[in-house]
Amino acid sequence: MFGKKEKPTTEPRSGFFKRLRSRLNSGDSWLTYDLANLAPGAKIDDEVLDDLETRLVMADIGVDATEKILADLHKRLERRELKDVSVLKAGLRQSMIDMLAPVEQPLDTASDNGPFVILMVGINGAGKTTTIGKLARLFMDNGQSVMLAAGDTFRAAAVEQLQVWGERNNVPVVAQASGADPAAVIFDAYESAKAKGVDILLADTAGRLQNQQGLMDELAKIKRVVSRQNPDAPHEVMLVLDAGLGQNAMVQAQKFNEALGVTGITVTKLDGTAKGGILLAIADSLAIPVRFIGIGESADDMQTFRADEYVDALLNTQRDE
């Protein structure tokens, strides 16, 4: 998954999956609703699929992605393959996995030319700085050295928050005075990381709304400055999305991708929503790799995205663990 591997991550996948399943299914939505209630007498027909379609849309999967999932199920119904609820659920599961599998692309941080630079972007409140801290821990647990760049020079507590994560993980943080040029901060951080032979540079940036053109232009400037130091950098433009924002997260992904060419997505706060379907909408519409998902505040609450685990958590499917 990562460039070097000297020891495994701190938590087994099975433990993370159990918590993902329980937290995604903590609210009142179609995810916690017994599919059997859609089909009284175990009969699967067009009316049942119409009801399921409504539930999928309400779960933030979006109209286009839902139509594709239902098209496959309707074909199975026509072929009389949907004999009961268990077959319906299996068909729904497979359609979802097929939609998510192409974006299941773990981040490869191996780099032969200087530090691997990850530029973290997203709106205020999405959880960028916390995600940086969690990713730093994940990379370190896989034997890689990390440096943090405090590129959010406008939010009063941003530098302090990043420094707390740096102290917690025992990694250096490059920062300047409040109001400094973010591009200059990240430039200095790159030079320092390169000189010290650091494997990964995680660069924080100020949160901004996708319609704030001036701030989006600033991100483009940061990207240009880093690329002058290393033509391959930033190696990853990581968009952090709050799962609880539903379809607005899709708009964010579209706008940030248009402005910067997003290469990976981390979805946070999945424990704050009982839906979680927005990943399917993004996968279907944008096909941007989903690198990590987060379900809580602690460092081990973030793991690499796995399509089958995620779908099983959405559908509350039992797995052999």
Last residue of a domain, one of 73, 103, 133: 103
Q: Give the tokens for residue 146.
A: 């990390």
Q: How far apart are CA 169 and CA 154, in angstroms?
A: 24
Span 96-153, pLDDT tens digits = 999 999 999 999 998 888 899 999 999 888 889 889 999 999 999 999 999 999 999 8
Q: How far apart are CA 60 and CA 307, in angstroms?
A: 17
In this prediction, residue 225 carries a pLDDT of: 94
pLDDT computed for residue 82 by the predictor: 85
pLDDT on residue 35: 65
Q: Which helix (H) or strand (E) holds 265?
A: strand 264-268
Same domain, 212 and 89: no
On whether both 68 and 143 belong to a single domain, the answer is no
Full-model pTM: 0.89
Give ∠ CA 175-177-180 in degrees, rounded to 5.
90
**Does residue 20 fall inside a structural domain?**
no
* Helix (H), strand (E) at residue 173: strand 173-174
pLDDT of residue 188: 96
Contacts of 69 (CB under 8 A, 6+ apart): 56, 61, 92, 95, 96, 99, 280
**Average pLDDT, stretch 263-273?**
85
Q: Which domain holds residue 260?
A: 116-314
Q: Is the pLDDT of residue 231 over 90?
A: yes
What CATH number is associated with residue 56? 1.20.120.140
Task: Indicate whether 33 and 55 sit together in one domain.
Answer: yes
Task: Compute the distance between CA of residue 294 and CA of residue 270 in angstroms, rounded to an integer.
Answer: 6
Residue 235 lies in a domain: yes
Is residue 165 within 8 A of residue 188, CB to CB? The reply is no
Q: Do 160 and 303 sit in the same domain of this protein?
A: yes
Has residue 9 been placed in a domain? no
Name the residue among 1, 26, 13, 297 with its Cα closest to residue 164: 297
pLDDT in tens, 65-83: 999 999 999 998 888 888 8
Q: Has residue 2 got a pLDDT over 80?
A: no
**Cα(240)–Cα(253) distance, integer angstroms:** 9
Please indicate, yes or no, whether residues 99 and 172 belong to a single structural domain of this protein: no
Edge-to-edge order in the sheet of strand 173-174: 173-174, 146-149, 200-203, 116-121, 236-242, 264-268, 290-294, 302-304
pLDDT at position 51 is 86
What SS3 class is residue 148?
Answer: strand
Number of domains in the chain: 2
